[in-house]
Amino acid sequence: MQLLSKTFHGLEDILAQELKEIGAQNIVTHKRAVAYEGDKAMMYRANMALRTALNVLMPIKEFTIENQNDFYEQVRAIDWGQYFKVRKTILVNATANSPIFDHSHFLELRTKDAIADYFSDKAGRRPNVDKENPQVRIDVYLSNNNCTISLNSSGEALFKRGYRAHHGQASLNEVLAAGMVLKTGWKGQNELVDPFCGSGTILTEAALIAANIRPGSYRTQFGFEHWNDFDRKTLELVQEEDDQKKIEVPILGVDNSPRQIGFSKANIQGAFLQKYIAVQTGDFESVQGEDERGTIITNPPYDKRVKTHEIDRLYRRFGDHLKQQFKGYDAWVLSGNDHAIRNIGLKTNSRTVLFNGPIETRLCEYKLF
Ligand SMILES: C[S@@+](CC[C@H](N)C(=O)[O-])C[C@H]1O[C@@H](n2cnc3c(N)ncnc32)[C@H](O)[C@@H]1O
């Protein structure tokens, strides 16, 4: 079957590589999405294993439309009863980039009406909409005249891993944090340090990678469990493919906010990773490289509301500290403040544009000699 996963800008290649590793076929990268093929087990495996996918969609119909009525008729003509029962609660999520529907909300309403009318005809009743915790999610994508209707096999977005107890003030999205770590190539081969660890997202996602723990193993439910064709045996077999390993290197985080360190501890415990990750309250200057080789992956503050000279000074101090205390390490710094990051004062080895929500950021790599 055809499948599609959405991701963030800049992570398409990483997601394609992840798909290759789990055995997906005919992988094609698009803007903020990757298309691929696989059987039902692949769909379940993708939901369990992918770190940089926001969801796993199964397209069920592609068509072109000339007007709003065409859209309604095409959606109503889908045999919805083949996919789920009328007693399931539903929610439609639409993205519209078309003069035919200039509001995605209206597209969602028309989709919901068409599905409700289909079930009224066939079953004499309509499915209820649940905005908080729907059992079946339907995804609509309209670009000019071209429309794709998909079922979302993930349910809640896959960045909601299920381990997080607290969000920090500026917590990274789990998918972005995992994508950063995968881009660095760190898989547990040397010490990892995050000197601005906040709520611990980078540390936790890195430990999941090093221990080969699939992010889906924390989830209690996936959307596909509400579909007519749900196959528990296949899901159990995919769950049994688990191949965790021990982490042999230290993973360490500091943050100067005790509150953030409290969040970190709760999140790390939520993922059962406290035996691998140590966090403590302190200034970034309180940690030094303890080894000949190591990796720093971090996301310092870049709040543009903070006075420029203070942010510039913080980055200058950080650059000096890296040079003096982390010789032999590779440092990867994600920042949304282009001006501030120049104050690190180190030669940039590589630079990748990533989006942290709406904020354009750069992941800069430095080799420390
Ligand atoms: C952008 S946030 C990091 C968010 C983190 N990646 C997460 O996912 O939760 C930056 C963090 O740097 C911390 N911070 C600011 N100045 C610091 C300093 N001098 N030393 C250590 N931490 C500092 C803040 O408390 C904040 O938690």
At 94, which CATH number?
A: 3.30.2130.30
| Ligand 1 midpoint to CA 201 (Å) | 11
The pLDDT score that the predictor gives to residue 169 is: 76
Counting from 1 in the atom list of ligand 1, the atom nearest the Cα of 168 is 9
Is residue 284 lining ligand 1, measured as CB closer than 6 Å? yes
Does 258 lie in the same domain as 199?
A: yes
Residue 99's Cβ-count burial label (10 Å; 0-12, 13-18, 19+) is exposed
Same domain for 44 and 98:
yes
Give yes or no for residue 305 having a pLDDT over 70: no
Of the residues 196, 257, 303, 325, which should be mutated to test ligand 1's pocket, given the most ligand atoms within 8 Å of the CB?
A: 196
Q: Do residues 136 and 206 both lie within one domain? A: no
Residue 255 in contact with ligand 1 by CB distance below 6 A: yes
Instruction: Indicate the number of domains in the chain.
Output: 2
Same domain for 265 and 362?
A: yes
Q: What would the mean pLDDT of 120-146 be, rounded to a whole number?
A: 97
305 alpha carbon to ligand 1 midpoint, in Å?
15
Looking at the fold, whether 69 and 198 belong to one and the same domain comes out as: no
Ligand 1 and 301: CB distance under 6 A:
yes
Range of the domain at 300: 174-213+246-367
- Asked if the structure places residue 132 within a domain, the reply is yes
Percent of the chain past pLDDT 70, that is, above it, reads 99
Ligand 1: residue of 256, 281, 317 to mutate (most ligand atoms within 8 A of CB) is: 256
- Indicate if 70 and 186 belong to the same structural domain: no
**Mean pLDDT, residues 156-163 taken together:** 96
CA of 210 to the centre of ligand 1 (A): 23
pLDDT at 22: 98
pLDDT of 368 strictly over 90: yes
- What is the Å distance from ligand 1's center to 190 Cα? 23
More confident residue, 167 or 259: 259
323 and 253, same domain (yes or no): yes
What pLDDT was estimated at residue 282? 98
Cα 27 to Cα 298: distance, rounded to the nearest angstrom: 31
Q: How confident is the model at residue 167 (pLDDT cuts 50, 70, 90)?
A: confident
